[in-house]
Structures are given as C-alpha cells and as structure tokens.
Amino acid sequence: MTTAFVYDPFERNHSFPGHPECRERMQSTWELLETDGILDSLTRLPNAPAHLDPILAVHNSAYVEQLQEICRGIQEPAGGSSRLQSWDQSALWLDPDTYVLYDSWEASLRAVGGLLQLTDAVMTGAAGNGFAMVRPPGHHARPRNAKGFCLFGNIAVAARHVQRKHGAERLLIVDFDVHHGNGTEEMFYDDPSVLFISIHQYPHYPFSGSIDEVGQGPGERFNVNVPFPAGVGDAGYLAALRQLVHPLAREFRPDAIFLSAGFDGHWMDPLSAHRLSVGGYAALVKDLLALAESLCGGRLICTLEGGYDLNALPHCILSSLRVLSRSPAGISDPFGAVEGNPRAADKVISAVKRRQGIR
C-alpha cells in the first residue's frame, strides 16, 4: 500500500501578513518534510486547478462567480519570483476573518484540484490512502459564502465527486479540527448518503455544532456532532473515535472515509484550548486508518484544515504521514503531551450515544 501526497506551492500567493492562516504554515511544514526525507517514500501527485463542475455540485453558482469577480478585481501583484516573496498586495475581506487576494481564486481552485487528484488516486487503487496538504482550508465554507478562512468546501467537493465519478454510495467524513465543520455539515445536512461526524471544542468558533444538530429530513441521524468542552485532551478524542465513530461507521458501511485533518487542537495552538499532542493526533489517524482497512479497503483520504502553531503543525503532519505510510520512524513529537481532562469528554460521549441510539 502506498500513500499519495499532494502539495502545490502556488498556495504561497494566498497569504496576508499577521493572519494565522498564512503561507508560513506550509513553509515550516515543507522544510521539516524535506529534512526528514519522508517525501521520498510517498506517491507525489501533480496538481492543477479544479474545473468548476465539481465545485458547483456543492456551491451556489452565484457565489462562485462573485468570488472569481472579487479576486480578479483586486490589483494583480508584480509577476515573476517577487510574486511569492512580497507582501505588497491588496486584499479584500469577505468576513471579519476571511481575506482574498488576486491569486486567491486560483489558489482555491488548486486546493480543490489537489484533493481531487489525491481522491482519484485512492479510489482507483493507484494509492492506498493519501494526504492533501492544501490551503486555503475548506470546512467552514458554506454553499453560498466564504467563512472562517475558507473559500471552497474542499472535502465536500471531493466527497460529492467520489459519488458522481466513482459511484460510491455511502461516504463517511470525520472532522477532528478543533472548530466545528459547519460548512461541510450544511452541504450534507439532508443527505443520508454522507455520514458527517465532527468532534470539536464547544462553545467555540463558529458557535455551531451542538448535539441536537442531527440532520433533517432523510438526512436525520446522519449528522453527528461531538461538542467537547475545552481541555479534553488526547484521551477524550480517542474515546470519541472508539465509542462513537466506530459503531456508527460499522453500521453505515462507507465506501471510503474522508478526514478533515485540522491540528489546531494541539496544546500549543493559539486558537484553541483542547490540549491534544502530536502523539495524540497520530493515534487518531492510526485509529481511522485501521477503521478504513476494516470497512472500505483502507481508503482514507485526508485533507488539511486548521493548525496554526508554526512549530507544532509540521510535526503533526509529518507524524500523520508516517502513520499513513507505515514508516518505522515512529512519531515526531519534540513537545510532548500535557494533561487533559477525559472525564469532561465522558459526559458528552454519553449524551451523543443517547441521541444517536448507540448502545
């Protein structure tokens, strides 16, 4: 089994100084991956901007057209190599958190395109599993607007693409980003063919994702939120996977598993307070990989969401890639773990079990 990997340096053109969702996230990560040498063991995939058809399968056409017009209306930066080095670009803000530059349109198309390339590789058997190291992230983007650093719903686009191109009947999306995946939830809220499970800090941005958000109509019970209080730590998240995700997934029998891999629950991250560690995240990826192997031939398709500490994020991604590729090198965690409060997680897990009818 090989692990596919996609990264497109064009993402550097989408970055705003001082913003947590910036190109330095990938710069520090890329440097560590190159130094480590793990890239030589991965199936590197080429990338190109996505066509609009798969994006329009989950996003409103008026929004997509408006986003393109907004980006193209911004002053284009100087060409050549300086384009990647200079902050001298104009920016517009779509909401208080979400900026766009001239190159944000193409960067977003390439983020989707990279994930689709990886998805196709896994679904056709060219790779066993994969990780798309793309930005801007996607799980907050709504059908009709951008939100929370996200322009397109990358993982939602990929999931619908798998159904349309590869004939998948049932897909599981697990989102362990510390922020609720409100955009992904909204895109599949009435759809019983996609089981969406979000494990997140609550109350916390985007201030959605309660236990009672369970889907509607035919999609009822196919939307599952695990709203943890702050500080649950590694043990709390792993318990949620084993006590909630496992039984729901085994009942659902997905054709593939998607992972919105946000690493912003790390104890060093400035945007959360969930006290996870690099080793804790690696354990979650290992657990999901084993679940995928037992249910759907190992088809685990991961895409990057959050993670804003420039020291912790690279090691979270490196360790995840080591797990996916079965590297003997083990976990890369120079920071260690801090004590969490898994008892706080137990109450939420019990409540979700009752809500979902899990025994």
Residues with active-site annotation: 140
What gap in Å lies between CA 69 and CA 263, rounded to an integer? 32
What gap in Å lies between CA 22 and CA 13, rounded to an integer? 10
Q: Which residues are CB-contacts of 213 (< 8 A; sequence separation ≥ 6)?
A: 185, 223, 225
The answer to whether the beta carbons of residues 249 and 287 sit under 8 Å apart is no
What gap in Å lies between CA 209 and CA 181, rounded to an integer? 8
Nearest CA-CA partner of 267 in 309, 227, 221, 209: 309
What gap in Å lies between CA 320 and CA 303, rounded to an integer? 11
Sign of CA dihedral 201, 207, 210, 216: negative
Amino acid at 38: I
Q: What are the backbone angles phi and psi of residue 195, rounded to the nearest 5°? A: -95, 115
Structure tokens at 60: 């409103």
Q: What are the backbone angles phi and psi of residue 171, rounded to the nearest 5°? A: -130, 140
